[in-house]
Structure 1
């Protein structure tokens, strides 16, 4: 495992994106346990991208402008849906007294979709992994899977750390409805901004 791979992966994972925003929202609204579930869900959403890269579907996605656009705008639509749901639903970012009642299945489904509907992640793997795997050498496929596993592990650890830190301040905002309103609007705005960024990016 090269230091360059670990450093590049850490930079990519630490940089805030849709997964981080989603994990922070779960942490502030439902607590530490929910943030870990959200981090796990976002990490789980990476699996299809890894499989697409390994099986060659990522190359097709990269070569076909139409396929890329379909997946991209599905992701944009979902991010805008998340923004609207967060802004409209006043219960979306509300500190809950009983985090266990939130329902982990909903957190997992949303978290997985956040990363599945991001074609840039597939393209990233397509461009990123080959730099650290020589396809001409034996065991190239196991190495690619191993590197993908490390990427996913670091993703979970970093996202969970973001979530745990955010969950630690929940008690300070429980009795401040204006802060919660501001947070709800901020998260909605973040989803809109990320959706706009995805819509404007090319392959």
Structure 2
């Protein structure tokens, strides 16, 4: 079973990631403001269904990687580290996000749920990120890697529901905060960029 320290570190990183203004949480924010909290929660459920799909894909992918050659493991490790470094750099240099509101007043909850799923599962960056992020918090010595990743995936989904749900509930206040506070966004982006940097370094020194 995963150690409590690893779970706390993973959950903290997941919370920070969910807080960073990006396409998903900004879309949840705008839907909550323009179409109501129920619409936002349908989007959240859709996104998290997509996250579950990516988690299962990572479970399959990682199990294959651990059973293949050292060369394949090394190549994937390098690609994952480069991607994490890229994310770290993008966050470090990023400026204030601009919110663009959708004026559509028709609410089709089923369509919003399916759209959330589609937005997530059609984004290959989510799978690549999961593949680079999740293994950092696993330990082959303490048990089944696939089970550990599944647990982390469920914890990541919980953190997403928690933060995105709070965004939906407190949408009006969060809207003003994120649109008016450049400093708050910059601090959050810089902090998370250093987390990505540390994870990239850790991934590079990880052995098969």
Gaps of 5+ in 1: 66-86, 170-203
1:42 CA drift (Å): 1.3
The residue aligned with 1:177 is none
* TM-score (ref. length: structure 2): 0.58
C-alpha contact (below 8 Å) 1:13/1:154 kept by paired residues: yes
Of the candidates 35, 38, 41, which is equivalent to residue 43 of structure 2?
A: 38
**Which consecutive segments of 4 or more residues in structure 1 shift more than 4 A?**
57-60
The residue aligned with 1:139 is 144
C-alpha contact (below 8 Å) 1:32/1:167 kept by paired residues: no
Per-residue CA shift, 1:116-146, capped at 9, x if unaligned?
Answer: 1222211111111111111344232222111
Per-residue CA shift, 1:80-103, capped at 9, x if unaligned?
Answer: xxxxxxx9xx9x524x5xxxx712
Of the candidates 129, 134, 137, which is equivalent to residue 129 of structure 1?
A: 134
The residue aligned with 1:93 is 103
Secondary structure of 2:140's counterpart equals coil
* TM-score (ref. length: structure 1): 0.59
Residue 53 (str. 1) matches residue 58 (str. 2): yes
Gaps of 5+ in 2: 66-71, 80-99, 175-208
Residue 160 (str. 1) matches residue 188 (str. 2): no
1:31 CA drift (Å): 0.5
Secondary structure of 2:139's counterpart equals coil
* C-alpha distance in structure 2 between counterparts of 1:122 and 1:128, whole Å: 10
Residue 23 (str. 1) matches residue 28 (str. 2): yes
Secondary structure of 1:157's counterpart equals helix
C-alpha contact (below 8 Å) 2:52/2:154 kept by paired residues: no
* C-alpha distance in structure 2 between counterparts of 1:138 and 1:32, whole Å: 40
Secondary structure of 2:143's counterpart equals coil
RMSD of Structure 2 on Structure 1 (CA): 3.0
* C-alpha distance in structure 1 between counterparts of 2:11 and 2:110, whole Å: 31
1:14 CA drift (Å): 1.1
